[in-house]
Chains A and B, each alone.
Chain A
Amino acid sequence: MTTTQEHAPNPAAGDPNRPIGFGRIQRKEDPRFVRGKGNYIDDIVLPGMLHGAILRAPVAHARLVSIDTTEALAHPKVRAVITGKDLQGLNLAWAPTLSADVQAVLVTDKVRFQGQEVAFVVAEDRYAARDALELIDVEYDVLPPLVDARRALDPGAPVIRDDIEGRTDNRIFDWEVGDAAETEAVFATADVVVAQEVVYPRVHPAPMETCGAVADFDPVDGRLTLYETTQAPHAHRTLYAIVAGIPEHKIRIVSPDIGGGFGNKVGIYPGYVLAVVGSIVTGKPVKWVEDRSENLMSTSFARDYIMQGEIAATKEGKILAVRTSVLADHGAFNATAQPTKNPAGFFSIFTGSYDLKAAYCKVTGVYTNKAPGGVAYACSFRVTEAVYLVERMVDVLARKLDMDPAELRLKNFIKPEQFPYANKTGWVYDSGNYEPAMRLSMQMAGYEDLRREQREKRGRGELMGIGVSFFTETVGAGPRKHFDIVGLGMADGAELRVHPTGKAVVRISVQSQGQGHETTFAQIVAEELGIPPESIDVVHGDTDQTPFGLGTYGSRSTPVSGGAVALVARKVRDKAKFIAAAMLEARPEDLEWEKGRWFVKGDPSVGKTITEIAFAAHGTVPLPDGIDGNLDAEVTYDPPNLTFPFGAYICVVDVDAGTGQVKVRRFIAVDDCGTRINPMIIEGQVHGGLTDGVGMALMEIIAFDEAGNCLSSSFMDYLIPTAMEVPDWETGFTVTPSPHHPIGAKGIGESATVGSPPAIVNAIVDALAPFGVTHMDMPCTPARVWEAMQGRARPPV
């Protein structure tokens, strides 16, 4: 079922007496934000709180010779200086990562990337803490750095991880998926084979709020309260229990308002651990908030995939197979945040939206002297890289075949009747109907007119490009039998309490970073129970207040937690039926539900509202056997499959032939995220992701020089789009619900970040076609575009 109709306007909209569920409503969190009353990490002030600052390594690779903290300790406002040696005494110098590796909390032996944590100062105020950093004297013995991932496996390459016993090279893993032989057979007999190296450079999520923590350890009862910028409070609690040896019931993680996450706030960073150690050592709460350079230089980067792509097709343009070999730069520690069994995340979805005969990929992960991380920036566990690869390759093929790129895609889509569709790399796409989305985007764009305009402009020597991408997202991890993070199954819990007066509180395990959870989840309960959203509070971000679950990343909040919330509301609704039956002295099977009320079949005038039922549940009405006296429920939702949102994007660019400057003139985005809960929030998610796409396609890159110095360590050099670089977005949608999700929703948080970069790059390459350009890598800065025009397009790394 696909429709281009919006969810019908809720008839209850605007009527205070009638409950509403799905539809456009203003966000419940906004009243505090527009008043400046958000509560972000740096807004938290505890009595007696001290401030921490981290001394970081100025070089990328160096043996640590000595650290002298005498002068820093003599600073009148300094309370503690912690070094790696101190942490060794506490068995905290190394912490496990989310990918079965370890990461140094503070350097003990060797610096492995520029910006790595070397020492931690705790002082009475942040100015003093910063001053004291300059009083620490560190001696380094500089080693040759390994910066170029392509050289990581060279025999003579410096071995970065000599801390791991027996390690003699920089290989982290080799991972393959698909049938190599079958794929080779298809390639061998195909009419047309094209190959292209496609690089997705290292970028950074760079949320506007940097990462930080306030640790408050109570030495008397051994209880740790840790305020943190985290997208996954429960997972963090478990990890701290494992890392720090603090019993889990004595740890409370509070994730306050988060000023943007995008995957930057999934991992546990040394700074968080250091704040905890600082609090334990000083007996006072300790705040640590990184500055922007620390954020860009040391916390989780994204991408950094060098992909050798190949695509095979018939001469008529039937795509037969895709094959790729990937070199993945993971930095100095393997700290990617992804499911255990997926060392390359969900990259194996590189088969895209196409019905293929075969597919195969091999990914090799390597260490380099760069910051760790790798799965972040709204990437849906590396679906960004997968979609970018296949959508770039399809365009390369289109050029080779001299076919229109939109037509080539239309010709190869998985057909609606093929869903659920098992692809060649082990995924089962839940539902999809691709052609209507593609056609809608072309119609909105005026695709034929654009091509006509382009022909005219080319005749005048003007450079205009039209880029198409069609993506299938892979989100909502996931079924616990397949997906876990450090052994924790990727399920999420929800608890719902309906108070006696019919007001409700729903407690969830995921954590908003701006996505509007307080609104969306209230709307899901509203839709299921008929309690108006304004009468439902959503509690999140506090492990003492919420059920266990794995948190918000990979666009999993609505697919997983949304499912949990819908199911918990249904559980309450089912219970309400029994109570209503008792109240009405009817049999439960004789009752029928309409939004907000159970009534007697055939006699709608006889019924009880959810509010009346709630009061009765807590009141004196005799309850049926097995029904206890409340209107509460809890569930843990283990999704049966992932969800597969999709979309068709068209980008129009103009390139200044004299300077290489690219202007994104128009961007048309048609998204299908299944059932739409709040169209306003969905549109906002799409807009944000499209802007990410412009950033990555045109300007964002974390670059390094040959010595391993980070060249993108501030917002002067890590460029993020402003309002001037992005157009007024044109959005549309189709609705193809997920067949397995309780409300049919698929997730939307990362679709546009995943789908937009190839549309933009395809547009730029299209604009440069008169120069014979068939590919260029991001970022398409003026200089790099100009180089491509000179026939010298070069990879960014």
Chain B
Amino acid sequence: MQVSMTVNGEAVTRDIEPRVLLVHFIRENLGLTGTHWGCDTSNCGTCVVLMDGQPVKSCTVLAAMADGHDIRTVEGLVVGGALDPVQQGFMEEHGLQCGFCTPGMMLTARALLDRNPHPDDSEIRQAISGQICRCTGYATIVRSVQWAAAHPAVTDTAADGAGTGESNSEEVTA
């Protein structure tokens, strides 16, 4: 069957088997390997992407069901060459180690901040409670999201010159 959707702002159309899972469609049909998978039972959340702005577990959504919808993956977090504040926050506050759960965590954080720009720590913990990180112990993820909340991106028109760019990535913060 043919499916069409918008992925990171780009219209895509592919012929697939109806049983293709959205995570496989993203990874294998589109080659966007930033979205991972870690279980089969929608427990781990490494496959989280945004569907119409809401985090969903893409291992438990058929690509066919995403037909006509808007999908955003980790590859779509960088806008105009500038990192999303969430991405910057994860680097600033050591919100990642092996990096495997990170894309899903960042997308959930992005969706949270879009709805609630100043969450408290417990709201952040609640928001990511369907996603497992085996490395960080979560505290630094919470700090990363708080960093992003404290450093919102400038509006889209000014995004190119945003101070959240890559040049800061090696900055010493000691």
Task: Check A-B contact in the complex, CB < 8 A.
Answer: yes
Cα of A262 to Cα of B133 in the assembled complex, Å: 13
Cα of A599 to Cα of B106 in the assembled complex, Å: 48
B residues with a Cβ closer than 8 A to A are 17, 19-20, 27, 32-41, 43-44, 46, 73-75, 77-78, 83, 87-88, 90-92, 94, 96-103, 106, 121, 124-126, 128-142, 166, 169-174
**Do A34 and B98 touch across chains, with their CB atoms under 8 A apart?**
no
Smallest CB–CB gap between B109 and chain A, Å? 11
Cα of A35 to Cα of B106 in the assembled complex, Å: 10
Of all chain B residues, which has the CB nearest A689? B137
Cα of A34 to Cα of B35 in the assembled complex, Å: 11
**Do A30 and B96 touch across chains, with their CB atoms under 8 A apart?**
yes
Known: A25-B170, A30-B96, A34-B87. A723 touches B128 (CB 8 A): yes
Known: A26-B169, A40-B36, A716-B43. A687 touches B92 (CB 8 A): no
Q: Mark A206-229, 1 if CB is under 8 A from B, else 0.
A: 111110000000000000000000
**Do B96 and A210 touch across chains, with their CB atoms under 8 A apart?**
no
**Do A723 and B40 touch across chains, with their CB atoms under 8 A apart?**
no
Q: Which 9 A-B pairs have the closest CB atoms?
A: A36-B34, A514-B98, A687-B137, A259-B100, A33-B99, A36-B74, A514-B97, A715-B43, A691-B137
Whether, in the assembled complex, A1 has its beta carbon less than 8 Å from a beta carbon of chain B, the answer is no
Partner of B41, one of A20, A260, A716, A729: A716
Smallest CB–CB gap between A376 and chain B, Å? 13
Cα of A28 to Cα of B96 in the assembled complex, Å: 12
Q: Mark A611-624, 1 if CB is under 8 A from B, else 0.
A: 00000000000000
**Do B140 and A722 touch across chains, with their CB atoms under 8 A apart?**
no
Cα of A291 to Cα of B19 in the assembled complex, Å: 17
A468-476, A678-686, A759-767 - interface stretch: A678-686
Whether, in the assembled complex, A201 has its beta carbon less than 8 Å from a beta carbon of chain B, the answer is no
Cα of A726 to Cα of B125 in the assembled complex, Å: 10
Smallest CB–CB gap between A291 and chain B, Å? 6
A residues with a Cβ closer than 8 A to B are 9-10, 13-14, 20, 23-40, 42-43, 127, 206-210, 257-262, 291-293, 513-516, 533-534, 679-681, 683-684, 686-691, 714-716, 720, 722-724, 726, 728-729
Smallest CB–CB gap between A757 and chain B, Å? 14
Chain A residues, Cβ within 8 Å of B142: 723, 728
Of all chain A residues, which has the CB nearest B107? A36
Partner of B40, one of A10, A262, A714: A714
**Do A31 and B132 touch across chains, with their CB atoms under 8 A apart?**
no
Partner of B173, one of A25, A292, A729: A25
Of all chain A residues, which has the CB nearest B33? A43
Partner of B132, one of A127, A679, A687, A722: A722
Known: A36-B74, A292-B41. A31 touches B98 (CB 8 A): no
Smallest CB–CB gap between B48 and chain A, Å? 12
Chain A residues, Cβ within 8 Å of B103: 36
Q: List 11 A-B contacts (CB under 8 A).
A: A10-B174, A29-B99, A31-B91, A35-B34, A259-B98, A260-B97, A260-B100, A514-B99, A688-B97, A688-B134, A691-B136
Chain A residues, Cβ within 8 Å of B174: 9-10, 13, 23-25, 679
Cα of A763 to Cα of B87 in the assembled complex, Å: 37
Cα of A534 to Cα of B172 in the assembled complex, Å: 11
Known: A208-B46, A260-B134. A36 touches B100 (CB 8 A): no
Cα of A388 to Cα of B27 in the assembled complex, Å: 42
**Do A724 and B126 touch across chains, with their CB atoms under 8 A apart?**
yes
Chain B residues, Cβ within 8 Å of A680: 94
Chain B residues, Cβ within 8 Å of A533: 170
**Do B132 and A720 touch across chains, with their CB atoms under 8 A apart?**
yes
Partner of A258, one of B98, B136, B169: B98
**Do A127 and B91 touch across chains, with their CB atoms under 8 A apart?**
no
**Do B92 and A26 touch across chains, with their CB atoms under 8 A apart?**
yes
**Do A724 and B39 touch across chains, with their CB atoms under 8 A apart?**
no
Smallest CB–CB gap between A736 and chain B, Å? 22
Among B78, B103, B141, B170, chain A packs the most CB atoms within 10 A around the CB of B170
Partner of A208, one of B20, B33, B74, B132: B132
Smallest CB–CB gap between A211 and chain B, Å? 12
**Do A722 and B94 touch across chains, with their CB atoms under 8 A apart?**
no
Of all chain A residues, which has the CB nearest B169? A31
Known: A33-B99, A209-B98, A724-B126. A27 touches B91 (CB 8 A): yes
Of all chain B residues, which has the CB nearest A26? B91
Cα of A684 to Cα of B137 in the assembled complex, Å: 8
Cα of A306 to Cα of B65 in the assembled complex, Å: 50
Smallest CB–CB gap between B148 and chain A, Å? 11
Cα of A42 to Cα of B23 in the assembled complex, Å: 12
Chain B residues, Cβ within 8 Å of A683: 94, 140
Chain B residues, Cβ within 8 Å of A9: 174
Cα of A714 to Cα of B43 in the assembled complex, Å: 9
Of all chain B residues, which has the CB nearest A258? B98
Smallest CB–CB gap between A120 and chain B, Å? 20
Chain A residues, Cβ within 8 Å of B44: 208, 292, 715
Known: A209-B100, A514-B135, A516-B97. A31 touches B43 (CB 8 A): no
Smallest CB–CB gap between B159 and chain A, Å? 16
**Do B98 and A260 touch across chains, with their CB atoms under 8 A apart?**
yes
Smallest CB–CB gap between A334 and chain B, Å? 27
**Do B33 and A36 touch across chains, with their CB atoms under 8 A apart?**
yes
Chain A residues, Cβ within 8 Å of B140: 683-684, 687
Chain B residues, Cβ within 8 Å of A207: 98, 100, 134
Cα of A262 to Cα of B136 in the assembled complex, Å: 13
**Do A33 and B102 touch across chains, with their CB atoms under 8 A apart?**
yes
**Do B172 and A25 touch across chains, with their CB atoms under 8 A apart?**
yes
**Do B94 and A714 touch across chains, with their CB atoms under 8 A apart?**
no
Of all chain B residues, which has the CB nearest A686? B137
Chain B residues, Cβ within 8 Å of A25: 170, 172-174
Of all chain A residues, which has the CB nearest B76? A36
Chain A residues, Cβ within 8 Å of B137: 684, 686-691, 726, 729
Cα of A354 to Cα of B173 in the assembled complex, Å: 39
Chain A residues, Cβ within 8 Å of B38: 208-210, 259, 292
Cα of A107 to Cα of B122 in the assembled complex, Å: 49
**Do A208 and B98 touch across chains, with their CB atoms under 8 A apart?**
yes
Chain B residues, Cβ within 8 Å of A720: 132, 134
Chain A residues, Cβ within 8 Å of B141: 723
Of all chain A residues, which has the CB nearest B96? A33
Chain A residues, Cβ within 8 Å of B32: 36
Smallest CB–CB gap between B104 and chain A, Å? 10
Cα of A39 to Cα of B33 in the assembled complex, Å: 8
**Do A262 and B39 touch across chains, with their CB atoms under 8 A apart?**
no
Chain A residues, Cβ within 8 Å of B138: 687, 691, 722-723, 726
Cα of A513 to Cα of B97 in the assembled complex, Å: 8
Chain A residues, Cβ within 8 Å of B98: 207-209, 257-261, 513-514
**Do A208 and B101 touch across chains, with their CB atoms under 8 A apart?**
yes
Smallest CB–CB gap between B101 and chain A, Å? 5
Chain A residues, Cβ within 8 Å of B100: 38, 40, 207-209, 259-260, 514
Of all chain B residues, which has the CB nearest A730? B139
**Do A34 and B170 touch across chains, with their CB atoms under 8 A apart?**
no
